[in-house]
Amino acid sequence: MSADCVKTINEILNEEKWTRATLNNYTINNFKELDALINQAYEDELQADVKELCDEHLTHTKNSIIALYISGILSLRRQMIDDSNLVLLITIFADNHKWNIVEFLCNRILEFGENKYALRTLADCYENENEDKKKLEVWERLIKVDYEEAEIVKILADKREEAGDIDAAVELYKKAIHRFINKKLFSSVKEIWAKLIAYSPEEIDFFDHVDRKVSTIISTERASQLLEELYTYYKKQENWSRCIDILKEILVYDSKNTWARKEITDCYKAKYSFHSQLDEYVRLSNLNQSWRNVHDAIADFEKHISFDIGSFVSHKTWGIGKINKISGDEISIDFVKKRDHTMSLKMAVNALTSLAKDHISVLKVRKKKDVLKEKIKKDIPWALKIIIKSFDNAANMKQIKASLVPSVLTQGEWSSWSTSARNILKEDPVFGNHPDKADVFMVREKPISKEEKLYNKFKAEKNYFNKIKALEDFIKVSDPESDYFNEMFSYFANLLKSYTVASDQVVASFFVIKKLVKEYPFLNSNEYNLNFLDMMATVEDLEAVYVGIDNPEIRRLFLIELKQQEDWPEIYVKLFPKSMSTSIIDELASSGYKDKIEALFNNISDRYRELREAFIWIVKNYVTEKWCEKHGIKYEKILINMIHLLDITFREISDKRDVSDNRRLNKQIQTYLIKDTKLGTYIESADEDSVTRLYTLISDVKDLDPAIKMVLKDMIKKRFDEFKFYDEKASKANIKKAVRGLLVTEKAFKAKQKELKNILEVEIPANSKEIGAAIDLGDLSENAEYKAGKEKQELLQISVGKLREDLEKAQIVDPKNVKSVKVAFGVTAALKNNISGKKESFSIMGPWESNPAKNVISYQSPFAGELLGHTVGENLKFVINEREYDYLIEDLTLVDF
């Protein structure tokens, strides 16, 4: 059919325009005929031409029924956001009461996915046609995708209630109350709150969540009103503990609430009516005295009331005890190793911690170890409940472990037990996450759904990228119908709505929202812009944004989208050193940018000290001798740079600079050069000059294992019988006398002695205390303080060993014995650079005094080694690391040391 399809559509557009067909002339069959033309356009791959034709037609005939329909359907088939043409078309027919066509058009839109406008209009259509059953069915669909719709949700809930389906009604009322809160319609919130108290009063976690939301969005005064109604219900039930919790929350909103203060005092009296010291403790705490801060009074009362005959307590030194007598202001306690110990009540309140009889510490004393162990191992949920409640119903895995290891379980037993425990904490609805701390667990009075548990985890997460992971986990077990999902989705959508400068979080939100909208088109909204280039126009620091995206998949998608930019190859090259990625290199290679890759690698190779991590990554992942030949890079240069970095990382580890990072990089370098035999393989085939340069460098890496140097040396000897090893040469001039020693000044020697003394007497004891404190925190496998302490301990021991070794080898040079006849320790050489013509000066000292920035160099360095023993007037030519030197010695003077 080819172009005939476009021609046919053009003809019917013109016919419509010329004949000015009225709405009454249109039937559903007319639209079905247009669908046939649309299908033909797709078969002929002319859909883009057809859409362009219709859009152009609409510029001068904006209400063209044919153009609106064809353009709108093509947009939906192409998954475009804009549905304005079909919306206008539906409006035209709805205004003219052509409900059969409105119904057809709405259903046509819904074939491509749920759409709020189409569903709402379809419901209106059924209402006009008195099709109540169909209208309700559409409403059921609408409330799942329109998170702002509250009234319809309530109507549906009321109908469920009337039909006696209370469970379904409760779920809908829950959905409605959240939406009315968002709309700040308190009268509706209050009405539904009352219904939920009547039908589902035990869902205290739900009521708590709703109340907090009301306090945030509406007001704390309104939140208090809701709690007062909930309190009334529990007071009738005489559930004094629950009443007290509710009143505490009311007093958090308003500490001056006299009604709540009186009520909480009455509730305490009812709850502890059996307590022998009740009236005395009320008096002591001033609980019913308005002049005292109510929160302090409550804390004081609860501390006192926990002390009664038969109650368990804990003391730092004496351990667990049981109160056996209270007489006036004196209390008597039986501790395990201190029976019938007496103290004043005031002292007891300050020195003792009250424990419940099922507190884990009490159980460890009251029960035999083997019996308790068996119970804990067999009934993990029971053990978790006991331990979590022992920490005021908020415990993390470190605290759980500290309660069991080694007092009940061995480390080996804990490993398998904790794996099962983590799964139970994740899956069992009895356990949930703390609302403010994602890694802290709570025991729920009423089991919660998995989706609510994951929502709570999302809310508790402080890290933005962990929130993305929580949302992904939520979608696996739930769907977008949930109002929990709406709140999570809104978190990311709001970032897209409000930004002026696109940060890493805004960019990540763009991809989160884009993915969700693709899966669930009804989430689409004009409130946020999903145009990547528009967002990129607001990015101020592209490198910082890219590095900040702590999500591999989003970072990958970001790189893909960046290809929309005309200068994307330059952007890729710029980003690579910040976060190495094979996808960047592979994308450049597959797109034919070999020159960019070579320029990138050469730049990183030239700046290998500054970009050491990127350089090592490239060498590990790409560099071979063949690769170097292909890209015109000398492989020897790569190896030389790696050896330099090996020495640098050793030195910085010794100087305690970025120890963890330097150890990691040092290990990678040694793996590449030694373990993977890259250096040895090259030595076996390289010429003697190249081998000389490499071995000279490797022999100067003083912290490298001597055994490795010996292996390389033997390898070289087998190839070159007359090879001269630099590290075997006798030192020149006065260095010859100190082959086995280390030349130092007296000042440097005393400084090193002082440093050693400080480490032994100050730093090591302080570090031992830190480790001891860290051990007390428990769970060493997850204890950052303990790991940091052990790492520092290892560094200190290394420093002590090295200092002692160097001090033993040290030979103090007497300034009186130094002469300026030849270049030697303690001599400054004034040189003329015959290559540049510039004057240069170098003072020869020891490694402890070396300061290259001030031209003070160690006699052990390769450069100083070429100068040692020479006199004024001599010309010296030598090569170090491929660089040629040519100097004339003009003058020699003594260094003042």
Written in H, E and C, the secondary structure of 488-517 is: HHHHHHHHHHHCCCCCHHHHHHHHHHHHHH
Question: What pLDDT score does 772 carry?
Answer: 67
Cα torsion angle, 77, 79, 80, 81, sign: positive
- Checking if the pLDDT of 13 tops 60, the result is yes
- Alpha-carbon gap, residue 691 to 716, rounded angstroms: 8
Question: What pLDDT score does 785 carry?
Answer: 62
> Which residues lie below 8 Å from residue 435, measured CB to CB, with a gap of 6+?
456, 459, 460
Question: What pLDDT score does 426 carry?
Answer: 86
What average pLDDT does this structure show over 68-86? 85
Burial class (CB in 10 A: 0-12, 13-18, 19+), 473: middle
Lookup: tokens for 764: 């090591």
The residue assigned the tokens 């793996």 is: 671
Confidence bin at 727 (pLDDT 50/70/90):
low
Question: What pLDDT score does 779 carry?
Answer: 47
The answer to whether residues 68 and 52 touch, using CB atoms and an 8 Å cutoff, is no
| 773 compared with 296, residue with greater pLDDT | 296
Other CB atoms within 10 A of residue 332 CB: 17
The answer to whether residues 461 and 437 touch, using CB atoms and an 8 Å cutoff, is no
- Alpha-carbon gap, residue 734 to 151, rounded angstroms: 97
Confidence bin at 733 (pLDDT 50/70/90):
very low
Of 853, 844, 842, 854, nearest in space to 887 by CA? 842
- Checking if the pLDDT of 737 tops 60, the result is no
Could you report the per-residue pLDDT of 36-50, keeping only the tens digit for each? 999 999 988 889 999
Could you report the per-residue pLDDT of 360-400, keeping only the tens digit for each? 999 998 889 899 999 999 999 999 999 999 998 999 999 99
Give the bridge partners for 879, in sequence order.
884
- Alpha-carbon gap, residue 644 to 619, rounded angstroms: 14
Intra-chain end-to-end CA distance of the chain, in Å: 98
| 74 compared with 326, residue with greater pLDDT | 74
| 771 compared with 540, residue with greater pLDDT | 540
The answer to whether residues 315 and 351 touch, using CB atoms and an 8 Å cutoff, is yes
> Which residues lie below 8 Å from residue 24, measured CB to CB, with a gap of 6+?
none
The stretches of 538-658 forming alpha helices (DSSP H) are 542-548, 552-562, 568-575, 582-590, 594-606, 612-621, 625-631, 635-654
Confidence bin at 21 (pLDDT 50/70/90):
low
- Checking if the pLDDT of 505 tops 90, the result is yes
Amino acid at 31: F
Confidence bin at 512 (pLDDT 50/70/90):
very high
What totals of helices (H) and strands (E) does the chain contain, helices first? 44, 14
Query: Coil, helix or strand for 335?
Result: strand
Radius of gyration, alpha carbons of the chain: 40
- Checking if the pLDDT of 627 tops 90, the result is no
Backbone angles phi, psi at 894, to 5 degrees: -85, 145
Question: What pLDDT score does 113 carry?
Answer: 83
Percent of the chain at pLDDT above 70? 95
Percent of the chain at pLDDT above 90? 46
Of 493, 603, 505, 600, nearest in space to 554 by CA? 505
Which range among 234-238, 664-668, 761-765, 787-791 shows the weakest confidence by mean pLDDT?
A: 787-791
- Alpha-carbon gap, residue 133 to 159, rounded angstroms: 12
The residue assigned the tokens 């066509």 is: 101
Confidence bin at 729 (pLDDT 50/70/90):
very low
The answer to whether residues 142 and 149 touch, using CB atoms and an 8 Å cutoff, is yes
Backbone angles phi, psi at 520, to 5 degrees: -130, 85
- Checking if the pLDDT of 817 tops 90, the result is no
